[in-house]
Structure 1
Amino acid sequence: MTATEPRSSARQEQGQLVEMAWDPITRIIGNLGIYTTIDFQNRQVATCHSTSSLFRGYSVFMKGKDPRDAGFITTRICGICGDNHTTCSHYAQQMAYGAKPPPLAEAIVNLGEAAEYMFDHTIFQDNMVFVDFCEQMVKETNPSVLQRAETTEAPNGHIHGYRTIAEIMRAFNPFEGEVYKQALQVSRVTREMFCLMEGRHVHPSTMYPGGVGTMPEPTTFTDYLSRLVGILDFVKKAVAMNDDVFDFFYEALPGYEEVGRRRVLLGCWGSWQNPDFCDYRYENMNEWGKAMHVTPGIIVDGRLVTNNLVDINLGMRILLGSSFYDDWVNEEPFVTHDPLGNPVDMRHPWNQTTVPVPQKRDFDGNYSWVMSPRWFDGTDHLALDTGGGPFARLWSTALSGLVKDNPYVTSTGSSVQISLPKSDQLPEMTLEWKIPHDKEGKPLSNALERDRARPYFVAYSAAMAFFFLERAMEHVRAGETKVFTDFEVPDEAVGCGFHEAVRGVLSHHMVIKDGKIANYHPYPPTPWNASPRDSYGTPGPYEDAVQDTPIFEENGPENFKGVDIMRTVRSFDPCLPCGVHMYLGEGNELKRMHSPMFGATND
């Protein structure tokens, strides 16, 4: 199996170090390259650089556009989480316009986003991440581990039906494994659920600022419900299988908790608005932010620093560091103070100007088109990561303890309890995701725990989907079927939207002047996770997690696949289109040519 072999095979001995690169990383979207030096004598990664070679420039060509078009344009930032961008753009627009969608519209949006989480997390975890843990891969990288897996009973076999850990690994084998094929079927069903609410996957056709165009008929929701019930067995089994496999790796490879480990620096911007509280007014953002069904928060060393969206917003800083851009701090700011009168920093997204400077990649200088977003706590510029999305979401929600009075999900202060009803094969179940700690009791953020959180959040999304369905049907039965609110675009305004894309934090910041977009900056999870070293020399999360990680693969330099490195990178659910944008360069012209031979038009 060659899925993790270096695409760039150049290796150079430097004393005991070997240079190895994976560019592009397989099984993701976009041009992500991971460049390392590895100390094979001590079985450890010595250095790591994360780079991307593609630039696109949405923040450049959004200027001058009609603000109402922002959602339709920014959805094309990504072909995977485009609906998350649409949703977040509409949140920002609704703040700028002073528009509050009807409650039924919010329920429809929440149902669509819940389906998207279930779709994307399932296909990524089971069809991409688990290739790194399947029988074929483990046989090639850690044959002794596979041998042990053959005789290790699966503790949750009574739930998922596999007797040994090796049987689960075989079910993960690509194209042939039972779980691999089941996940593809579940991804189809969840995509259908999404389309019932948002019209088209992945670029919604029925979502607008101020509401939705979805026809709220009872069958719209019962069709969604029937599909949701149909995937519940898979959702429950997936949690059990993931727990068995990851717990086994800790036992079979003592010290594996250090693979992909970094300081606990997590960010979550919150998800699923609560229409009982959310009016999209910036002045009330702290209150309605805390009422979200996933609680926003910043976690440092396992401690909740803040869950106030106003504080989160004001602390955002965009650093350049090792990226291919010129600075903008000497320009006139777009926004000097937020609507509450708080000063806004020049490096805040509201004030950013994108000035691309193409150049040769230099790991001692600039080497990536990804910028370096950081969160400033008043002293340090923190390189937050998203843990792949679910990890930060669950941790923030658990610590805040604000999700309660909900029959399906409860946050306890140290865990999140998820209740799922009876399904075809399995009884009603309550699952509990607990904040992870190592054997010494220290908070633990590593590759396995990021991956473990993903199926738990699929269960969380399924549980919340039941809740949103009940709310939607209540509105329909009461005749409250309005799904759109009229609004007017102001001549001048600012807006910010906070949401969770599948793989983590997503924000859209917009400035309107003369009725047009004067400045617009979307910041998805990719630049937070994939950023290069910043202006202070701090590595980005990919780099930090890979650097110093131990190597457990049994192969030497000649046959090395880098599976521990790939597990680390893929645990973040990497996706590069959101981090980089297209650029032609000064003086280059894009021409449309006519081919007389075929009558075709080529770009």
Structure 2
Amino acid sequence: MTTTAMRPQTGAEQSNLIEMNFDPITRIVGSLGIYTKIDWAAKRVAECHSTSSIFRGYSIFMKGKDPRDAHFITSRICGICGDNHATCSCYCQNMAYGVRPPPLGEWIVNLGEAAEYMFDHNIYQENLVGVDYCEKMVAETNPGVLALANATECPHAAEHGFRTIGDIMRGLNPISGEFYREALAQSRSTREMFCLMEGRHVHPSTLYPGGVGTVASVQLFTDYLSRLMRYIEFLKRVVPMHDDLFDFVYQAMPGYEEVGRRRVLLGCWGSFNDPAHCDFTYENMADWGRRMFVTPGVIVDGKLLTNNLVDINLGIRILLGSSFYEDWEDQPMFVTEDALGNPVDRRHPWNQHTIPRPEKRDFDRRYSWVMSPRWFDGTDHLPLDTGGGPIARLWSTALSGLVDLDHIRATGHSVLINLPRTATKPERTFEWTIPRWSNALERNRARTYFQAYAAAAALTFAKRALAEVRAGNTKTWEPFEVPDEAASCGFTEAVRGVLSHHMVIRGGKIANYHPYPPTPWNGSVRDVYGTAGPYEDAVMGTPIFEENPPERFKGIDIMRAVRSFDPCLPCGVHMYTGAGRTVDVTHSPHAFTPAG
């Protein structure tokens, strides 16, 4: 973290502003920078810009490739959620090739994705973002809050084993904390669960369009389930522990609900296909999308606008404004209407052209390599966010009320998650209820509950996969042919939220390909209309509760707001090497310019 204090500017409107820059943001992957101006007298962030300084360009070098290689290439977009990209690419290819995987193949993909959610949410929540709430951090930023935490009994102490809130904070201390180490160990078993289903993590080796190459057996699913049940036992401590911690923060710092708070503008593209209904055709996408075991939806001001994947697809717009790209207004369109005859906008991913235009960063003009995805509701271009993934998934599923599994039920206002009896703990039912706010604490809370959701869903997926095997239905892959022309899309949820892949095939090769993961949505910048992206919006107006003066300011409240979105910048921007020009840089060991 780089923090720079700026001399207060002249002029009444700038007289109390101090510039505080955080670049790079630590404990995440990528090159995210947050540039703020803080009204120190009012203890509030007055201005924020979100930047990314790397460009990678997958949408450029995918052109001309064999479509069958798309999932292997796009999984390399990210070294964290590469399997989400591979899965989404296979969904996109299934549509293009007109292939429907066997049910067992789909259950295996669902089990792999469930393991990925459990793995990634656990390691991020406990070992990365959890550090923002650990004893060492709170002692450095809010010693008064730590004193109160040490004196506050935990309401659910009997369930998680920590007597006070201070004990929870000590458990989250990096390396030395008991719970920190326990969570780190859990990440190994969940990664093993994924590898059982798809061969390798994080770039699957047995995942293909048409299904999987995994050899299914009773032993395979038994090995998965044995690890899953240990993880479920762990979750019975995790959920009440985080409820106690986050509820305490609200109580200890009245007004903390404003940290990272923004208008409820949430997007979820759905996850976990039901093989009984999903045929991957565009014509039936609205129906099989609603049958997903995580329901898609666009939520505005707490209300569900749509859960129709066709509407969601057609509403996507890629805007420029403050990003380092040329417009493509004068470029040819690849798709003018979809398979149902609906018009497709020039700014839809099917028609996007990526034309890099690097220049010096200027916050009044262009300042980031991240574009500005928006969702057009017919009137406004909405800067949807994913809330880090889980809050949008749970909110959308709860409102639609369509999911009713063995261990999960959406009620219209909440999601009930039942975890069965495990080795030492009884059956336990948790209820995630739609919160009052979309803010930092509720994004983090939802991440804990969605781990339980993914685990409960995996129990059903494993049960149905075993039923297929025992019935002798062991086929996991369906052959296909690559068409000469096609326009297709895939929708799912990456760990951090919405993920779509759009592909156009011409002459049997990829003519256009655009993956849009959650980070471009969350980390987008001011668009052509001047609308700020979600990181920027969530940080602007955030109150400062940190007790340190400006010269020792750590920006913990700002960091909590940003990290609640689970940022991962590799997915936000893409690589491009141009014509292959090589630049040799020679560094002098004596060349050093001191800061300041």
Superposition TM-score tier, normalisation by shorter sequence? over 0.9
Q: Secondary structure at the match of 2:283?
A: helix
How many Å apart are 1:433 and its aligned residue? 0.2
Q: Secondary structure at the match of 1:283?
A: coil
Q: Secondary structure at the match of 1:333?
A: coil
2:372 maps to amino acid: S
CA deviation digits over 1:313-369, x for unaligned, max 9? 000000011000000122110000000000000000000000000100000000000
1:568 aligns with 2:561: yes
Partner of 2:513: 520
Q: Distance in 2 between matches of 1:352 and 1:8?
A: 37
CA deviation digits over 1:132-181, x for unaligned, max 9? 00000111111111101111110111100111000000000001101100
Partner of 2:12: none
How many Å apart are 1:7 and its aligned residue? 1.8
Q: 1:490 aligns with which of 470, 483, 491?
A: 483
Please show how residues 100-115 of structure 1 align to structure 2 within 5 Å: 100-115=100-115
Q: Distance in 2 between matches of 1:430 and 1:554?
A: 38
Q: Secondary structure at the match of 1:69?
A: helix
Q: TM-score, normalised by structure 1?
A: 0.95
Please show how residues 106-125 of structure 1 align to structure 2 within 5 Å: 106-125=106-125
1:389 aligns with 2:389: yes
Partner of 1:277: 277
Partner of 2:55: 55
How many Å apart are 1:232 and its aligned residue? 1.6
- The answer to whether the Cα contact below 8 Å between 1:134 and 1:171 also exists between their aligned partners in 2 is yes
- The answer to whether the Cα contact below 8 Å between 1:391 and 1:453 also exists between their aligned partners in 2 is yes
Q: 1:450 aligns with which of 419, 443, 450?
A: 443
CA deviation digits over 1:470-527, x for unaligned, max 9? 0000000000000010100000011100000000000000000000000000000000
1:291 aligns with 2:314: no
Partner of 2:415: 416
Q: 2:497 aligns with which of 491, 504, 517?
A: 504
Q: Distance in 2 between matches of 1:418 and 1:528?
A: 28
- Paired positions, count: 579
- The answer to whether the Cα contact below 8 Å between 1:159 and 1:426 also exists between their aligned partners in 2 is no
Q: Distance in 1 between matches of 2:413 and 2:214?
A: 38
How many Å apart are 1:586 and its aligned residue? 5.9
Q: Distance in 2 between matches of 1:559 and 1:26?
A: 18
Question: Any unmatched runs of 5+ in structure 2?
Answer: 10-14, 585-596
Partner of 2:588: none
CA deviation digits over 1:27-46, x for unaligned, max 9? 00000000000111100001
Q: Distance in 1 between matches of 2:195 and 2:551?
A: 48
Partner of 1:145: 145
Q: Distance in 1 between matches of 2:92 and 2:30?
A: 26
Q: Secondary structure at the match of 2:472?
A: coil
- The answer to whether the Cα contact below 8 Å between 1:297 and 1:307 also exists between their aligned partners in 2 is yes
Q: Distance in 2 between matches of 1:13 and 1:158?
A: 51
Q: Distance in 2 between matches of 1:79 and 1:402?
A: 33
- The answer to whether the Cα contact below 8 Å between 1:270 and 1:293 also exists between their aligned partners in 2 is yes
Q: Secondary structure at the match of 1:13?
A: coil
1:544 aligns with 2:544: no
Partner of 1:166: 166
Q: Secondary structure at the match of 1:146?
A: helix
1:476 maps to amino acid: V
Root-mean-square deviation (CA, aligned residues, Å) is 1.0
Task: Report which stretch shifted further, 578-587 or 530-539.
Answer: 578-587
- The answer to whether the Cα contact below 8 Å between 1:408 and 1:420 also exists between their aligned partners in 2 is yes
Q: Distance in 1 between matches of 2:277 and 2:159?
A: 39
How many Å apart are 1:584 and its aligned residue? 3.8
2:278 maps to amino acid: C
1:430 maps to amino acid: T
Q: Distance in 2 between matches of 1:484 and 1:304?
A: 36
* Change beyond 3 A, Cα 1:93–1:585: closer
Q: Distance in 2 between matches of 1:179 and 1:152?
A: 19
1:176 maps to amino acid: S
Displacement over 4 Å in runs of 4+: none
Partner of 1:204: 204
- The answer to whether the Cα contact below 8 Å between 2:4 and 2:19 also exists between their aligned partners in 1 is no
Question: Any unmatched runs of 5+ in structure 1?
Answer: 1-5, 438-443, 592-603
- The answer to whether the Cα contact below 8 Å between 2:60 and 2:576 also exists between their aligned partners in 1 is no
- The answer to whether the Cα contact below 8 Å between 1:358 and 1:585 also exists between their aligned partners in 2 is no
Please show how residues 172-251 of structure 1 align to structure 2 within 5 Å: 172-251=172-251
2:432 maps to amino acid: W
2:429 maps to amino acid: T
- The answer to whether the Cα contact below 8 Å between 1:388 and 1:504 also exists between their aligned partners in 2 is yes
How many Å apart are 1:590 and its aligned residue? 7.0
- The answer to whether the Cα contact below 8 Å between 1:40 and 1:556 also exists between their aligned partners in 2 is no
1:475 aligns with 2:468: yes
- The answer to whether the Cα contact below 8 Å between 2:5 and 2:18 also exists between their aligned partners in 1 is no
Q: Distance in 2 between matches of 1:407 and 1:429?
A: 14
Q: Distance in 1 between matches of 2:580 and 2:493?
A: 38
Q: 1:555 aligns with which of 540, 548, 560?
A: 548
Partner of 2:256: 256
Q: Distance in 2 between matches of 1:447 and 1:7?
A: 22
Q: TM-score, normalised by structure 2?
A: 0.96
CA deviation digits over 1:282-333, x for unaligned, max 9? 0000000000000000000000000000000000000011000000122110
Q: Secondary structure at the match of 1:298?
A: strand
* Change beyond 3 A, Cα 1:547–1:81: same
Q: Distance in 2 between matches of 1:65 and 1:584?
A: 17
Task: Report which stretch shifted further, 412-421 or 577-586.
Answer: 577-586
Q: Distance in 1 between matches of 2:19 and 2:408?
A: 47
Q: Secondary structure at the match of 1:577?
A: helix
- The answer to whether the Cα contact below 8 Å between 2:372 and 2:526 also exists between their aligned partners in 1 is yes
1:412 maps to amino acid: T
How many Å apart are 1:570 and its aligned residue? 0.3
1:503 maps to amino acid: R
Partner of 2:92: 92
2:403 maps to amino acid: V
Identity across aligned pairs (percent)? 70
Q: Distance in 2 between matches of 1:581 and 1:183?
A: 32
Q: Distance in 1 between matches of 2:583 and 2:514?
A: 25
